[in-house]
Structure 1
Amino acid sequence: MALRTCLALSDHRSLESNSSSPIAAPRVPTQNHGPRARVSAFPHEGDRFLLPALRLSKREANLSILAVLLNGCGPSASAATLRQEVELERYTDSKEGFTLLKPSSWVKVDKAGATVLFEEPTKGSNNVGVVVSPVRLASLGEFGSPQFVVDKLIQAEKRKESTKDAEVIGVAERSGQGGLQVYEFEYKLDSTRGGMKRIFSAAFVTSKKLYLLNIAHSDKPESPLDTQTRVMLEEVLHSFDAAPGT
């Protein structure tokens, strides 16, 4: 995993115990995942409408609102639809001390270097993986700011022979369990292995362990990442945290 490279991690630990429980209605990604500080929000292609400053009559305003509702473009309707279609379940590794949501249909596979890895059944290059490694740091902030870390991450990606290009899309910081410092990154990766991909990563340090989440999904020009899938992946990203009681 790329972030593991830039932070010079040591050997991983194997997964020995875990639990999984279903979640019937996952939350919308931008809600209920702790306050953020120094956040540079992820830009979402095509999910904002830039409206001109127009003076509308009451009748025109009512007609405009009606048109939006009839066309199914209202934000509440979209959110409700996504909540119904996205199916996630909670995965907790009580031994290693982390928790996250994962797509319920994705299967767990064994892979060297990963504490846990889930792959989409029909396309293994779409996956969610976690690596847990011992470190000397007491917090992620001791290593550097989110921007500093993502710069190192991109440098490490570009040094790989298979990498054709890597571009940062977003950087953020949020609070996790008990005020835990969590960094989040999003970037585009074009490589000779798998083509264009969208990568979402998150990292935190607790109990002298570095926890790294890496989410990879195909994002090719002929089949770009759709809104529903993006919402699901962001929900997984924001759910990554230390397990309660650790």
Structure 2
Amino acid sequence: MIMGLFSFSPTPLSGCIVPPNHRPFVTQACLPTEMAEASLPRKGKQKDKLLVCVSKREFGLCILLGFPVTTASALISAAMAEEQELERYTDGKEGFTLLIPSSWIKVDKAGATVLFEEVNKSANNVGVVVSPVRLNTLGEFGSPKFVADKLIQAEKRKESTKDAEVIGIAERSGHGGLQVYEFEYKVDSTRGGMKRIFSAAFVASKKLYLLNITYSDRPENPLGSHTRMMLEQVLHSFDTAPSM
């Protein structure tokens, strides 16, 4: 169904609401001195050699070193996201790579090039579809906003969809300057309730690569910040394999 989006002959809309190379979250638990200095006291020379490596046990140390509570909380959140281990998956045949939660299992599904599911929670999954296209770049199809609109329209046409809404749109550069679009939207469905979906797409070697990350986001069990960070790491890792 999603692949059918790219059979339209669109008139692209101009403008991307998020600048290229956007990275909204810290993805490393260790932050270099330059990034930490803004939060440290101006007096004293200890900041000059400081490398801030945050773990749960070191949260109190951050406070002692002079970090505001809000800054220390952000750092510990990033560190906890790292604890949800990710591993690299590369498809040499199709030529793409991404990070995958190491505890998730690979399953076979018709229409998917590859699909990973959380154990005992198949509704939470990461899937990639690769299909041939006549495009050289994703920009030839349309702007990020145009593609996001088409994604939402496709979701709303599903009989099971009660509502769908775009949360965020971004464009970044991948390997070798590759044009990559990223989207975040939420869907309320009769099949599984509220879901948060992160998608990324790019075109390379006359093939369209589409990543879809689906995760339950019900009001009684909303998507947590740590899980969100992990899913965003997966989203931002989607790229062509370096050998391409």
TM-score by length of 1: 0.74
The alpha-carbon deviation at position 5 of structure 1 amounts to 3.4
Distance in 1 of aligned mates of 2:5 and 2:188: 18
Q: In structure 2, how many angstroms separate the alpha carbons of the residues matched to 1:117 and 1:202?
A: 15
Determine if contact 2:174/2:240 at 8 Å carries over to the other structure: yes
Match of 1:74 in 2: 73
Correspondence for 1:37 among 7, 20, 23 = 20
Displacement of 1:122 in angstroms is 1.6
Q: Give the partner amino acid of 1:105.
A: S
- Structure 1 distance, partners of 2:84, 2:112, is 25
Partner SS, residue 147 of structure 1: helix
Change in CA separation of 1:146 and 1:40 when aligned onto 2, cut-off 3 Å: farther
Deviations 1:129-168 (A, max 9, x none): 0000000000000000000000011011111111100000
Aligned pairs for 1:54-65 within 5 A? none
Q: Distance in 2 between matches of 1:38 and 1:241?
A: 13
Retained in 1: the 8 A contact 2:78–2:226? no
**Unmatched 5+ residue regions in structure 2?**
9-18, 26-62
2:193 alignment partner, one of 192, 195, 210: 195
Q: Does 1:90 align with 2:88?
A: yes
Cα distance in structure 2, aligned partners of 1:215 and 1:164: 19
CA deviation vs aligned residue, 1:193-218 (integer Å, no higher than 9, x gap): 11100000000000000000000000
Counterpart of 2:125 in structure 1 is: 127
Q: Deviations over 1:72-104 (max 9, x none)?
A: 953223322332x22000000001000000000
- Identify the residue that residue 104 of structure 2 maps to in structure 1: 106
Question: Measured at CA, do residues 40 and 118 of structure 1 come closer, stay the same or move farther in structure 2, by a change above 3 Å?
Answer: closer
Contact 1:41 1:171 in 2 (8 A): no
1:155 — aligned with what? Answer: 153
Q: After TM superposition, give the deviation of residue 38 of structure 1 in Å.
A: 8.6
Structure 2 CA distance, aligned partners of 1:143 and 1:39?
21
Is the contact made by 1:99 and 1:243 (CA closer than 8 Å) also made in structure 2? yes
SS of the counterpart of 1:37?
coil
Asked if residue 5 in structure 1 is aligned to residue 7 in structure 2, the reply is no
* Corresponding letter in the other structure for 1:162: S
1:114 aligned counterpart, secondary structure: coil
Aligned to 1:219: 217
Q: Supply the AA of the counterpart residue of 1:151.
A: D
RMSD over aligned Cα, in angstroms?
2.6
Q: Is 2:135–2:141's contact at 8 Å kept on the other side of the alignment?
A: yes
Structure 1: tracts of 5 or more residues without a match: 10-35, 43-62
* Alpha-carbon distance change, 76 to 41 in structure 1, aligned in 2, over 3 angstroms: closer
Which structure has more helix as a fraction of its residues? Answer: 2
DSSP 3-state at the match of 1:74:
helix
The amino acid across from 2:3 in the alignment is R
Larger relative contact order, structure 1 or 2 (CA cutoff 8 Å, min sep 6): 1
Structure 1 counterpart SS, 2:223:
coil
Kindly state the Cα deviation for residue 68 of structure 1 after the two structures are TM-superposed: 4.7
1:165-224 CA distance string (max 9 Å, x none): 000000000000100000000000011111100000000000000000000000000000
- C-alpha change, 1:114 and 1:205, in structure 2 (3 Å) is same
- Aligned partner of 1:186 in structure 2 is 184
Amino acid at match of 1:4: M
Matched letter for residue 6 of structure 2: L
Q: TM-score, normalised by structure 2?
A: 0.75
- The one-letter code sitting in structure 1 at the alignment partner of 2:125 is N
